[in-house]
Amino acid sequence: MKVTEYIEKAAGQTLISFEVLPPLKGGSMKAIFDTLDPLMEFKPPFVDVTYHREEFIYRKRESGYFEKVAIRKRPGTVGICAAIMHRYGVDAVPHLICGGFTKEETENVLIDLNFLNIKNVLALRGDARKFDGKFIPEKNGHSFAIDIVEQTTAMNKGIYLDADIDDGAHSDFCVGVAGYPEKHFESPNLDNDLMFLKAKVDAGADYIVTQMFFDNQHYFNFVDKCRAMGINVPIIPGLKPLTKRYQLNSIPRMFHIDIPDDLASAMQKAKTGADLKEAGIEWCIAQSKELKERGAPCLHYYTMGDADTIRKVAEAVY
Ligand code: FAD
């Protein structure tokens, strides 16, 4: 079923969903199942699976020459989605990114997903590779998430890249996109970012999943601003409990978001690792309860492989 159909069917009840990361190349499905097995009792109707672009380093060889080596690759998003659907009978939502894909490769992935009866995709640009400094699209690839939205909605109408395909098989994808309550870091301001978000929705995006945030007011303001400018699709808040002190610096650095004073000082004051984790979990529970009370369509938890923490939050909220 489509994410939007689940939301409609829930008729105002707040759903729960999770995001998992594919294991690095050489890893196994066990890591994914170990994360999801303990979370399935909360009955998520769908689970997202991220996609990550290959990253390289230049390693110096004895000869003095540098060799380009792929160090991080998380392949298998499509296969992992199929495995999740098969094991748990829930829908899987693969993320599709512009980075590293030509338009044709994106089309081939969409065709495979359609054959697998996968009904949802989350269309994203992807981040810049570390050594590039800024996002560089693949030659003959897409530059912005909206391009994937357009390609997917075109396929829903039977339009493929090959102009010789006349009224091809119509897919029926529901397309999600990302939204940033504290604005995307490259955007000059929130209004400018929202203008591009609206363009994604006007191009056919059916729902929005937000970047994580730790102050619900950012989400409520974001939803109000979206509604005021005519973005009327469901807006699903993304949540992550903090569990480590170093995250007070790493999360703002990586995701360009603020950590509220009260949360930061609760974590700084914690005497033990367990106290610190408890403070992060308590904060996320309070955030989740308020979002639920105020009618968020679904709470989407970034698991980052930590089922135990997410389970504690979900137990208190659902
Ligand atoms: P876009 O919507 O393309 O926007 C990127 C930037 O360009 C924004 O600043 C926007 O305002 C601007 N912009 C948009 N259109 C235009 C235009 N036509 N002209 C000029 N500027 C424009 N990354 C991964 O690599 N893999 C994942 O699986 C993944 N999952 C994610 C899931 C969620 C819920 C979120 C919130 C993020 C995820 N990301 C993932 C990170 C995401 O790819 C990055 O945040 C990326 O930098 C932006 O992606 P986007 O889809 O929002 O881009």
What does the alpha-carbon distance between residue 288 and residue 285 come to, in Å, rounded to a whole number? 5
pTM of the complete model = 0.96
Question: Residue 120 C-alpha to ligand 1 middle, in angstroms?
Answer: 18
- 82: helix, strand or coil: helix
Residues with CB under 6 A from ligand 1: 50-53, 95, 97, 124-127, 144-146, 178, 184, 186-187, 193, 196, 209, 211, 238
What beta strand segments (E) does 131-173 contain?
Answer: none
Gyration radius of the chain's alpha carbons: 20
Tell me which residue range forms the domain holding 116. Answer: 3-317
Atom of ligand 1 nearest to the CA of 49: 28
What does the alpha-carbon distance between residue 298 and residue 101 come to, in Å, rounded to a whole number? 30
Q: Number of structural domains, the chain? A: 1
Question: Residue 101 C-alpha to ligand 1 middle, in angstroms?
Answer: 15
Return the sign of the alpha-carbon dihedral for residues 285, 290, 296, 297. Answer: positive
CB contact at 8 A, 237 and 291: yes
CATH code for the domain of 219: 3.20.20.220
Q: How many CB atoms lie within 10 A of CB 11?
A: 6
Residue nearest to atom 53 of ligand 1 (CA): 125
Residue 72's pLDDT band (cuts 50, 70, 90): low
Atom of ligand 1 nearest to the CA of 147: 3
Atom of ligand 1 nearest to the CA of 124: 51
Which tokens sit at 80? 């992992």
pLDDT at 148 over 90: yes
Atom of ligand 1 nearest to the CA of 200: 2
pLDDT in tens, 16-70: 999 999 998 888 999 999 999 999 999 999 999 999 887 777 778 888 888 877 6
Nearest Cα to Cα of residue 181 among 160, 170, 197, 203: 197
What value does the mean pLDDT take over residues 122-126? 97
Residue nearest to atom 21 of ligand 1 (CA): 196
For 65, 66, 67, 311, the CA distances from 62, given in Å and listed in that order, are 7, 9, 10, 49
pLDDT in tens, 169-182: 999 999 999 999 99
Is residue 3 packed enough to be buried (19+ CB in 10 Å), middle (13-18) or exposed (0-12)? buried
What does the alpha-carbon distance between residue 130 and residue 213 come to, in Å, rounded to a whole number? 24
pLDDT in tens, 217-268: 999 999 999 999 999 999 999 999 999 999 999 999 999 999 999 999 999 9
